[in-house]
Chains A and B, each alone.
Chain A
Amino acid sequence: MSSYALKERVFHHLTKFFAFLVLFFLVAIFVVLLVKAYPAIEAFGFDFLTDEKWAPNLGIFGGFPAIYGSFISTLIAMLLAVPVAIGIAIFLSEVAPSRLKSPMGVSIELLAAIPSVVYGMWGLFYFAPLMRDLVGGNGLGLFTAGFILSLMILPFIAAITRDSLNTTPQILKESAYALGATKWDVIKDVMIPYAKAGIIGSVILALGRAFGETMAVTFVMGNVHNVPDSIFQAATSIPATLANEFNEADTELYYSSLFFLALILFIISFAIISLAKFHFLKRRKKVSDRKHKWHKLVKQWRRK
């Protein structure tokens, strides 16, 4: 074998090894979670997902409050962030005068660079007291967490949506204007449909981020295993529970129940990211389908 071919092979296998390493870690993490969660899975089964009671001193562990808190706080965050973020993106891509576009775009991106612990501190020391004055209670809870989360994912959705809107070819926009469209017509009928895949993708990724966010939520959630009557009451989420309670987990079942929650978080996050990937793949497939049709016609022609 020539030294060139040898190098080629080494390189090939080395990169392959690195690529498989990622897969290995993914599987390894899943297996560890599964093994550690097993005692709790055995003890509670699927009831863990719906059981509301979390009483470590009694040895009773139900995951529902944490799962519920995660979903509701994420939902609040999405409802608050998505419309505002898309509005910001539209402003930055088509409405704003060009001297404003760049500085405003950069400040949005800087918002994304703030560490989540800072958001959490701000939420606890500024926003929570404000909420307490406005709606009573201690100011912590699902809405406060949802609001802080919405601030964190807002720049993310806004930046990706703006970039997607900016990929609309100028000539396509001009064609709409040339038919007598107004600026708003062009945004709503040409740019948003053109950028749809990117917008939905950014929303799904933001969803994943909000769902798994730990630090900021732990600060402002209140951290009680409770399914509250109102979104202004204290609750908990899966990541907040995990961050708070490992120190206190003095029994095997407690410890294992936390791992069970982690496993659920892993699976849901994985599902969300897969959804995003699937969404993009479907989009690409439409194009390749068209090519495929052509290839088939060419084959038929060759047979003749």
Chain B
Amino acid sequence: MEKEIIDLEVKDFSFRYAGASADSLKKINLPIIKNKVTALIGPSGCGKTTLLRSLNRIHDLYPGNEYRGEVNFEGRNILSADEDLIHLRTRIGMIFQKPTAFPMSIYENIAYGLKLQGIKDKTVLSGRIEKALKGGALWGEVKERLNDEADALSGGQQQRLCISRAIAVEPEIILFDEPTSALDPISTEAIEKLIMELKDEVTIVIVTHNMQQAQRISDYTAFMYLGDLIEYGETDKIFNNPDEELTKQYISGQFG
């Protein structure tokens, strides 16, 4: 077996929402392995999205949330108060539940993250945009109309646009928050295929409600329940031979 490198390490991590009286995440320990797909599964309210949103500290947009413990990435604890969030978010990208094309052209959408980094040169931009759209499996469909408004694309295309936009800035990790929950089965298949191709370049963490999806695309799976991480392991093992009774019951559909 090839050597596994831990890209990001969640250590004794607890999280509490502003004004809440209890922790939403309780001492989570989870390694995120480089160039693999890690799926976070569990019933609604188990904390999987909360955990995902901690990894790029998007929670910081809303005041009063509290992090405890460590999330180690590129040699530092990204939960520390002096973490440069702007830089962090260029290293750890995010894809949301619904496609979130910006109200601008297809070209501008992809160029956006690059321009934020100060890249202005037209040829450099065009090259990076083409590469990103190819990476997002969208190039063939949009190369003739890069200047069209992005909201003219279908939902599935828009989601691939968002993925292209995220990979354009060449992040180390991409977080997917139920990326196919608003899409039809054909678009879902395209996104799943894309995620499996992307892992050669980036590390992927995906939150999904769909256990079949986790089984199809992930290498590792973490099962969460009520803010605890119940079990983590290789996806095959979690789905076929879990250690915990709770995991077994959840994947066999007995609750959740």
A residues near B, CB below 8 A?
A: 97, 169, 171-182, 185, 189-190, 193-194, 196, 290
Contacts and interface: CB of A to CB of B under 8 A. Distances in A.
B94 interface: yes
A180 B117 contact: yes
Nearest to A98: B63
A193 B102 contact: yes
Contacts of A97: 63
30 contacts: A171-B96, A171-B100, A172-B102, A174-B61, A174-B94, A174-B96, A174-B100, A175-B94, A175-B100, A175-B102, A177-B61, A178-B94, A179-B89, A179-B93, A179-B112, A179-B169, A180-B86, A180-B89, A180-B117, A181-B86, A181-B112, A185-B116, A189-B102, A189-B112, A190-B102, A190-B103, A193-B102, A193-B103, A194-B103, A290-B152
B104 A180 contact: no
Interface residues of B, number: 26
Given A177-B61, A179-B169, A172 B116 contact: no
B90 to A, nearest CB: 4
A178 B58 contact: yes
B61 A175 contact: no
Given A177-B89, A181-B86, A196-B103, 8 more contacts: A97-B63, A172-B102, A175-B94, A178-B93, A178-B94, A179-B90, A190-B102, A193-B104
B103 A179 contact: no
B56 interface: yes
A65 to B, nearest CB: 44
B131 interface: no
A133 B122 CA distance: 55
A179 B100 contact: no
B113 A179 contact: yes
Contact of A177 (B58, B104, B117): B58
A174 B95 CA distance: 10
A174 B53 CA distance: 11
Interface of B: 56, 58, 61, 63, 86-87, 89-90, 93-94, 96-98, 100, 102-104, 112-113, 116-117, 152, 162, 165-166, 169
Contacts of A189: 102, 104, 112
B86 A178 contact: no
The 6 A-B pairs at the shortest CB distance, nearest first, are namely A175-B100, A178-B94, A180-B90, A179-B113, A180-B89, A193-B103
Per DSSP, chain A at the interface is: helix
A208 B44 CA distance: 51
A298 to B, nearest CB: 15
Nearest to B168: A179
A182 B96 contact: no
Contacts of A175: 94, 96, 100, 102, 162
A179 B108 CA distance: 14
Contacts of B97: 171
Contact of A180 (B96, B98, B152, B169): B169
A129 B100 CA distance: 54
Contacts of A181: 86, 112, 116
B87 A180 contact: yes
Contacts of B166: 178-179
Nearest to A196: B103
Contact of A179 (B61, B104, B116, B152): B116
A240 to B, nearest CB: 41
Contacts of A193: 102-104
Contacts of A177: 58, 61, 89
A178 B56 contact: yes
Contacts of B96: 171, 174-175, 178
Nearest to A194: B103
A291 B7 CA distance: 45
A174 B89 CA distance: 11
A171 B61 CA distance: 12
Nearest to B94: A178
Contacts of A173: 61
A52 B58 CA distance: 63
A175 B162 CA distance: 9
Contacts of A196: 103
Contacts of A172: 100, 102
Contacts of A176: 102, 112
B224 to A, nearest CB: 22
A200 to B, nearest CB: 14
A185 B117 CA distance: 12
Nearest to B90: A180
Contacts of A174: 58, 61, 94, 96, 100
A13 B75 CA distance: 76
Contacts of B152: 290
A179 to B, nearest CB: 4
A56 to B, nearest CB: 54
Nearest to A290: B152
A178 B94 CA distance: 6
A182 B61 CA distance: 11
B110 to A, nearest CB: 11
A182 B89 CA distance: 11
B114 to A, nearest CB: 9
